[in-house]
């Protein structure tokens, strides 16, 4: 099994009410990642993503690209401790 990494991320821009959490979840699951994504009261979206560094790098590019509805202004990542028992990528409410 490849070495796992975990990051906490915050996205700002047009990221609420545009399907951003499902967009992140879908791409994370396609990249065989675990973690979670959540809307915040200030209009940002936070997440923890876990997978290979390659998967994290790909997801970061996908998040920056967005789509017709999603317009990410900023996205930053901070290293976190890996959670080896985590099995899913959840949308948190």
- In three-state secondary structure terms, 4 is coil
Q: Is 21 a catalytic residue?
A: yes
17: tokens are: 């009410």
**Catalytic, out of 14, 21, 67, 92:** 21
Separation between Cα atoms, residue 51 and residue 55, nearest integer Å: 6
Q: Which of 14, 39, 80, 88 is catalytic?
A: 39
Q: Dump strand ranges (E) for 1-93.
A: 5-14, 34-39, 45-51, 71-80, 89-92
Phi, psi of 61 (to 5 degrees): -65, -45
Q: Active-site residue 39, yes or no?
A: yes
- Active-site positions read 21, 39
């Amino acid at each position: 099994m490849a070495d796992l990494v975990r990051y906490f991320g915050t996205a700002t821009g047009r990221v609420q009410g545009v399907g951003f959490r499902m967009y992140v979840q879908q791409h994370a699951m396609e990249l065989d990642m675990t973690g979670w994504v959540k809307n915040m009261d200030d209009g940002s979206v936070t997440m923890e993503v876990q997978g290979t560094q390659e998967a994290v790098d790909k997801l970061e590019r996908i998040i920056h690209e967005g789509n017709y509805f999603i317009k990410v202004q900023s996205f930053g990542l901070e290293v976190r401790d890996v959670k080896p028992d985590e099995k899913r990528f959840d949308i948190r409410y």
